Amino acid sequence: MASDDVGSETSKPSFVIPEIPIAAPEATGDNFPEQMAPLIFSAWYVIAKSEDAGRTLSAIRVLAQPLVFYRTEAGEPVVLDDRCAHRRFPLSKGRLKGDRIECGYHGYAYEKSGQCIWAPGTPVEQELKKGLPFGVRSYPCAERGGWLWVWMGDPTRADPCEIPLPDIGGNCAATLYGYKLNPANYMLLIENLLDLTHVHFLHGASDLTYAAGSLPREAPSPVNGVSWIKEIPQTETGLLGSMCGDDPERLVRMAEDSTQYGPSLNIGRQSRSPLPGDIEKCKLEKFVVAHALTPLDHRNTHQFFMLCYSDPLVIDPQSVLKQTEEVVFEQDADAVFSMQRFIDEENRPGRVEFSMACDRFGMAMRKILRVMKERELAELESVGHAERRAQP
């Protein structure tokens, strides 16, 4: 795994960069549906698997902002605004020359700090010592857990120690990484992950006792997050157990927990043990799944996921990934898209949703995310407009 150091410079740039509109009007207010969460900039988000950040220019859109990322010759990750400061051509369509990006339109050249250091009219052999007085925004980034993370808020407040990923990959027999794009607001994904009763009804991957049995209980919560635990005295080991060689209908005891860390990460864990009197060890004892949720914009969400199995898989890992991505997570993506469409078309007055006990953690997250956004806007309000130009 690469180092946890911040990849890009975090100090305030001395050159002018275009302002990022973090207070988009639809992010808050009466017309913003309660089921959707606002875009929160003061957070760490996954933008790629570490090994996918390399010596080519890659593009991704995060919080409706275009980003370009690459690695320097020394291997340091760099994330910049993907709009040339000259005429907004995507820098990701340009060329990587050494550690610099050369815009593919008129050739303006940018350092990893985002500062423009060359433009037509400058002798080609002359390097501008001080650079030009403008550039593009550089985003703090760091690597953790096999992923590249970016901080989208005030760069002076970026602290990679706050990346909320606990060490979950250690002691795993198999760790698989994948990606899914969900055409829905990220809050619908958070609620999907916090209410796992859907695993039986939407995926058919568990028996009904899993959904009808005990309710999740509140567990100690992380900052800006929620956590629950649940014990199921008897249920089928299901699809997951079968991936490690158990009969999917084998009855086991299961303990499960799920934790949501701010807007960007959910971690779910399951442990299986034999029923009293059953002396055969479960073929899959522990399973952990991390979902890094990165809003592309208000209505689309990148989902980077990591699946960790404590025991060896008995089927080809690629077919496990295919089944997870193309069947299970596709069912989730289809469900949240369908709900997003109804949210966008909503014209029914009065109460349109009725919640039960299983929804309490999702409902708590709706509130937490709105409070985070209000705090972010209040902080922005306290910073002068001129200052915001340098630290959006």
Report the nearest approach of ligand FES to the CB of residue 108 (Å): 4
Asked if residues 98 and 104 have their Cβ atoms less than 8 Å apart, the reply is no
Rounded to whole angstroms, the Cα distance separating 225 from 364 reads 8
| DSSP code string of 248-302 | TT-EEEEEEEEEEETTTEEEEEEEEEEPTT--SPPS--EEEEEEEEEEEETTEEE
Rounded to whole angstroms, the Cα distance separating 303 from 179 reads 6
Is there binding between residue 148 and ligand FES (CB under 6 A)? no
134 binds, among Fe ion, ligand FES, none (CB under 5 to 8 A by kind): none
Rounded to whole angstroms, the Cα distance separating 124 from 64 reads 35
Asked if residues 87 and 105 have their Cβ atoms less than 8 Å apart, the reply is yes
Tell me how many residues contact ligand FES (CB under 6 A). Answer: 9
Is there binding between residue 360 and ligand FES (CB under 6 A)? no
85 or 313, CB closer to ligand FES? 85
Point out which residues pair with 179 in neighbouring strands: 304
Residue matched to tokens 């949240």 = 336
119 or 328, CB closer to ligand FES? 119
Is there binding between residue 149 and ligand FES (CB under 6 A)? no
Select the residue interacting with ligand FES from 6, 62, 80, 103 (CB under 6 A): 103
Q: Interacting stretch for ligand FES, rule CB under 6 A, among 21-29, 101-109, 196-204, 332-340? A: 101-109
118 binds, among ligand FES, Fe ion, none (CB under 5 to 8 A by kind): none
332 binds, among ligand FES, Fe ion, none (CB under 5 to 8 A by kind): Fe ion
Is there binding between residue 332 and Fe ion (CB under 5 A)? yes
Rounded to whole angstroms, the Cα distance separating 380 from 21 reads 11
Rounded to whole angstroms, the Cα distance separating 53 from 75 reads 9
Is there binding between residue 118 and ligand FES (CB under 6 A)? no
**Binding to ligand FES in span 158-187, by CB under 6 A:** none
85 or 296, CB closer to ligand FES? 85
Report the nearest approach of ligand FES to the CB of residue 24 (Å): 24
Report the nearest approach of ligand FES to the CB of residue 84 (Å): 3
CA geometry: angle 80, 85, 90, nearest 5 deg: 60
Helical segments of the chain, H only = 186-194, 198-201, 208-212, 238-243, 317-323, 329-345, 360-382, 385-390
48 or 103, CB closer to ligand FES? 103
Question: Phi-psi category of 114—alpha, beta or left, where left has phi over 0 and alpha has psi -120 to 50?
Answer: left
Q: Which of 192, 167, 241 is nearest to 359 (CA)?
A: 192
Residue type, 186: Y
Q: Which of 172, 104, 131, 180 is nearest to 14 (CA)?
A: 131
Q: Which two tokens stand for residue 195?
A: 């209410």
Is there binding between residue 108 and ligand FES (CB under 6 A)? yes
**Binding to ligand FES in span 81-100, by CB under 6 A:** 84, 86-87, 89
Is there binding between residue 109 and ligand FES (CB under 6 A)? no
Is there binding between residue 128 and ligand FES (CB under 6 A)? no
Point out which residues pair with 79 in neighbouring strands: 69, 139
Select the residue interacting with ligand FES from 106, 281, 322, 341 (CB under 6 A): 106
Is there binding between residue 134 and ligand FES (CB under 6 A)? no
Report the nearest approach of ligand FES to the CB of residue 121 (Å): 12
Q: Interacting stretch for ligand FES, rule CB under 6 A, among 102-110, 138-146, 224-232, 384-392? A: 102-110
Select the residue interacting with ligand FES from 32, 105, 179, 337 (CB under 6 A): 105
120 or 350, CB closer to ligand FES? 120
Residues that bind ligand FES (CB under 6 A): 84, 86-87, 89, 103, 105-108
Residues that bind Fe ion (CB under 5 A): 332
